[in-house]
Amino acid sequence: MRKEAPKPRSPERRESGLRVETALRAVPASAGTAGEDDARIEKKARLSTPRERAENEYRRAIAMVNQGRVQEALAVLRGALSEEPAHTASRLALFELLVEQRRLDEAQALMQESLTRNPLQPQLAAKLARLQLERDDAGGAEATLSHAAAAAADNAEFRAFRAAVLQRLTFHRDAVREYQAALRLAPRAGVWWMGLGISLEAEGKAGEAREAFQRARATGALTPELTVFVEQRLRQLQ
DSSP H helical ranges for the chain? 37-46, 50-66, 70-83, 88-100, 104-117, 122-134, 138-148, 156-168, 172-185, 190-202, 206-218, 224-236
Q: How far apart are CA 212 and CA 109, in angstroms?
A: 39
Q: How far apart are CA 71 and CA 58, in angstroms?
A: 14
pTM (two decimals): 0.77
pLDDT value at residue 40 = 58
pLDDT value at residue 20 = 47
pLDDT value at residue 59 = 94
pLDDT value at residue 171 = 98
Q: How far apart are CA 89 and CA 96, in angstroms?
A: 11
pLDDT value at residue 48 = 75
What confidence tens digit (pLDDT) does each residue in 92-142 have?
999 999 999 999 999 999 999 999 988 999 999 999 999 999 999 999 999
pLDDT value at residue 21 = 44
**Within the chain, which residues score under 50 in pLDDT?**
1-2, 10-32
pLDDT value at residue 222 = 96
pLDDT value at residue 37 = 56
Is 236 exposed, middle or buried (CB count within 10 Å of its CB: 0-12, 13-18, 19+)? middle
pLDDT value at residue 160 = 98
